Amino acid sequence: MTDNDFDRYVRLYRSSVTRTAVCILRDADEAEDIAQDVFLRLYTYSGSFTGDEHVRSWLLRCTANLSIDALRSFRRKNTVSLADIGEQPALNDEKNTVLPAIMTLPAKQRIAIYLHYYEGYSVQETAVILKISQSAVKQRMKSGREKLKALIKGEIEDDI
C-alpha cells in the first residue's frame, strides 16, 4: 500500500472508524486511541484488498475487535473515567434523538444495531464483522429494537 492510498483511506474512513469505536466504548477519547491503532494496523498490513469496500469492512472489523478487547481489559474494568465523575458529554446531535437511547443498550445489541443502521451493513456483513451467525445478528437487533421501543415509549409517557 502506498502512502497516498493510506492517506486516502484515513480521509475516507476515519469518521466511520471513530464513530464505531465510540458506539462500542462509549468514550470518545478511548475511541480516538482505538482509531489510531486501527490505522496503524492498516499501515503495517502486508495483505492486499480487492477494493475500497473491502478496506472499509476490514477497518470496521478491526475496530470492533480492538474495541471489544479494550472493554475486556483489566485497566478498563479497574478504573473510573473523568467523564463518569463529572458531567458526561452528549453523544448525540440535534438531528439524532435515538442514538442516546441506543447507547444505553447492552454492548452486543448496541454494536449490531449501530453497524446495521448507522454504518449501513447488511445482516450478513454485520455477522462477518462480528464473527457471529446471521441469526445471532438478527436476534440481537430484534432484542435491541424491543428494548429501544420500551425505553422510548417510557420517555414519551413520562413527558405527558
**What are the tens digits of pLDDT across the range 95-143?**
456 778 888 889 899 999 988 988 888 999 999 988 999 999 999 999 9
User: pTM for the full model?
Assistant: 0.63
**If residue 13 lies in a helix (H) or strand (E), which one and from where to where?**
helix 3-25
The region of weakest confidence among 30-39, 42-51, 99-108 is: 99-108
Q: Which residue has the cell 424491543?
A: 146
Q: How many helices (H) and strands (E) does the chain have?
A: 9, 0
Q: Where are the domains of the chain?
A: 1-89, 90-160
* Residue-level pLDDT at 77: 59
Instruction: Please name the CATH architecture into which domain 1-89 falls.
Output: Orthogonal Bundle (1.10)
The DSSP secondary structure of 128-145, one letter per residue, reads: HHHTS-HHHHHHHHHHHH
* Residue-level pLDDT at 17: 95
* Residue-level pLDDT at 109: 92
The DSSP secondary structure of 31-59, one letter per residue, reads: HHHHHHHHHHHHHH--S--SSHHHHHHHH
* Residue-level pLDDT at 157: 60
* Furthest C-alpha separation in the chain: 58
End-to-end Cα, the chain, rounded Å: 57
15 vs 57: CA distance, rounded Å: 14
In this structure, what C-alpha cell is assigned to residue 22?
465510540
**What are the tens digits of pLDDT across the range 68-79?**
988 887 665 556
Residues 72, 65 contacting (CB under 8 angstroms): no
Share of the chain above pLDDT 70, in %: 81
In this structure, what C-alpha cell is assigned to residue 143?
432484542
In this structure, what C-alpha cell is assigned to residue 63?
475496530
**What are the tens digits of pLDDT across the range 14-24?**
999 999 999 99
Look at residue 86 and tell me whether its pLDDT is greater than 80: no
Fold of 90-160: Arc Repressor Mutant, subunit A (1.10.10)
